[in-house]
Structures are given as structure tokens and as C-alpha cells.
Amino acid sequence: MTSLAERAATLKSLHRKGDPVVLPTVWDAWSARSAVAAGFAALTIGSHPLADSIGRPDGEGMTFDEAMTRVAQITDAVDAPVSVDIESGYGQPAERLINGLLDAGAVGLNIEDTVHSEGGRLRSPEEHASLVAALRAVADEIGVPVVINARTDVIIKHAGAGSAAGGPNESGEFDDPVGEAISRLRLCADAGADSLYPVGFHDDATQRRLTDELPLPVNAIAHPATSDLAALTAAGVGRISFGPLLQAALAERAAELLARWR
């Protein structure tokens, strides 16, 4: 067993532009062990499949303590660095989030700018960057270089509260949501993020714009059955995860198997 600091450093070292780390998105000890047995060096825990695994809705339908209970079960089951999607932070202060993650054995986190406890509003660019900075400061004080994957939902939502790239138009949508995402994530990079996650499935030109214009490794979402690793590598991404799609694909296969017995 390596120390948490060593695991965090290992996780960060796997993020390389154009040579992406694939972090299978898991939700329990079984899925985590399956991914490690398949040869993956690190994992991420997705909020959506994790919530599904305990019968709760995504969007902070579970509490932070409930999530950390399951995270601890996963980290106990595998000897690999684990990152966790903590959604928008469950309304918890940065110190509670970092300490909770470390106590559960995790060494990385996703933090998004959709505030689920406040009607799904988007944090302003500065507000989100300030949260990233607070998380970084706590981790640095503790001495564990927790890998912060700063996420923005602006591309998939096309709306927000405040803009670092000119603001939304009269309809509430940004004229250039990709540009807005880039501006937001640059602030997060300056605040101490390690990787950047402009969530959504993007065409090749958009993906290349994101990787070209952002200063840190970019996280891309992929479908485990249909996406192309070579194409994402060529687009310059530095991290690949599956969101809820691995769990969904397994659920489809399970439905096919079970249908034979009805």
C-alpha cells in the first residue's frame, strides 16, 4: 500500500496530453475490481452510477457521507488511485470535502459548476475558480496533492450566471458556449486545477479547439462500446472517463440475458 500522497502523485502523472489515461468509471467494489483486473492503473467513481447503485437520483440525491461510505468500500477493495465525482460539493466547505475524500482513501475529485442544491444554477466563473482554489489550498496544507478535475457544464447547458467571455445573449444562451467553457476552465487552471473537463460529447473540431486552447490535460467523456480511443488521442485529450455509460451498457447486456428467462 502506498501513501495517499504517492497515489495522488501517480494519478496526476498519468494525465498527459495526447497520451490519455483511461479511468473506467466505477460505482462499487465489484466494478472497481473488474476494472483493475482488466489492467487499468487508476479509476474514477461517477456520481450518477454511484447514486444508482444505492437507489438515489443523480444531482446530489445522496448525501456526501453516503457517497464517502461507498467510496471507502471501493478504495478498500482495490490497490489503485481513485478519483471521485463529488458533483458540485454537496453544499460542503472545501475542508470537509478534502478531508472526507482522504479519509475514504480517494486522491482525486471532479468538481462541477452546476449547483444542484440551488436549483441547478451555474456558478459564475470566478465563484467556481474560487472553490477550486479553496480545495487546492486545503489539499496543499494537508500535504496530499489531490488531483482536481475542474468541470464546467456550460457547453451542455448553454446558459449561466455571469460570463468570462462576454455573457449570455438575450435568450439566456451563450453565443459561444465553447469559448465560455474555455474562459471558465482557464480560471480554474489558474486556481490550481490539474485537469479540465468541458463535459459533453464534442465533434472533432470542438474537441481539438478545447485541447489546443486549454493549458492543462482535458478530460473527454467516452462511450465504452462505441467511442474511439485513437480519435480522442489524436485530438489531444489527456484523460478519458465514461460517466454513467459503462454501467448503462452493462445494464443493457443484463437485460438481454435476463430476457431469455422470462
* Encoded amino acid at 234, one letter: A
Average pLDDT, stretch 240-250? 97
Report the predicted TM-score, pTM, of the whole model to 2 decimal places.
0.93
Q: What's the pLDDT tens digit per position in 187-203?
A: 999 999 999 999 999 99
Contact 89/135 with Cβ under 8 angstroms?
Answer: no
Out of 3.40.50.1980, 2.60.120.10, 1.20.1050.10, 3.20.20.60, the CATH code matching 4-259 is 3.20.20.60
Sign of the C-alpha dihedral computed for residues 112, 113, 116 and 120 taken in this order: negative
How close are the terminal C-alpha atoms of the chain, in Å?
Answer: 46
What band does 174 get if pLDDT is binned at 50, 70 and 90?
A: confident
Specify the DSSP element, H or E, that contains 28.
Answer: none
Residue 164 has pLDDT above 60, yes or no: no
